[in-house]
């Protein structure tokens, strides 16, 4: 199975589309807590993420918007937590772990020349659990008292 322009092929990308829906829940939680700017950022991040993972090829413009909005959302959340004098221990502990595992997963995935079905499955599973679900859990623990 060889995919030249597709990053993650059809059956595997659906897991990432479904787990991207956690951003919609995060957006709702932010709105409920009264953080409308963060809520809108998460909503835009959700839209970019879903549109990217539906058609995850190298030339998809949603790919770059997804990366940009993930970075902006993380910086905005950290800024909000700092401005409210909130304990950043959960955020500061989990985010480097998520970033490290994400980076290792990406390096392992992109340096394989001939990818097999199992390579897609492993990369998608790690990305889904670490990035999508890991960020969601970090987000919930970060805003629980604020």
Question: What does the pLDDT profile of the chain (146 residues) look like in tens digits?
Answer: 445 567 888 888 888 999 999 999 999 988 998 889 989 999 999 999 999 999 888 888 998 999 899 999 999 988 888 888 777 888 889 999 999 999 999 998 888 888 888 888 899 999 999 999 998 988 888 877 65
- Answer yes or no: is 106 within a domain: yes
Q: Which domain holds residue 95?
A: 10-143
Listing DSSP states for 66-119 in one string gives: HHHHHHHHHHHHHHHHHHTT---HHHHHHHHHHHHHHHHHHHHHHT-SS--HHH
- Answer yes or no: is 31 within a domain: yes
- Answer yes or no: is 41 within a domain: yes
- The reported pTM is 0.83
- Answer yes or no: is 2 within a domain: no
- Answer yes or no: is 4 within a domain: no
pLDDT of residue 65: 92
- Answer yes or no: is 3 within a domain: no
- Answer yes or no: is 86 within a domain: yes
Report the number of distinct structural domains present in the chain. Answer: 1
- Answer yes or no: is 5 within a domain: no
> Both tokens of residue 133?
């679900």
Other C-beta atoms lying within 10 Å of the C-beta of residue 5: 9
């Amino acid at each position: 199975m060889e995919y030249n322009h597709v990053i993650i092929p059809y059956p595997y990308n659906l897991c990432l589309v479904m787990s991207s829906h956690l951003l919609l829940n995060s957006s709702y939680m932010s709105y409920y807590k009264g953080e409308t700017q963060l809520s809108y950022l998460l909503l835009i991040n959700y839209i970019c993420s879903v549109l990217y993972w539906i058609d995850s090829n190298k030339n998809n413009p949603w790919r770059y918007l997804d990366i940009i909005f993930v970075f902006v959302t993380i910086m905005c959340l950290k800024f909000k937590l700092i401005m409210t004098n909130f304990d950043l221990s959960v955020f500061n502990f989990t985010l480097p772990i998520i970033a490290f595992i994400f980076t290792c997963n990406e390096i392992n995935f992109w340096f394989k020349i001939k990818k097999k079905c199992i390579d897609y499955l492993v990369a998608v599973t790690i990305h889904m659990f670490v990035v999508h679900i890991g960020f969601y859990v970090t987000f919930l623990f970060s805003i629980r008292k604020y």
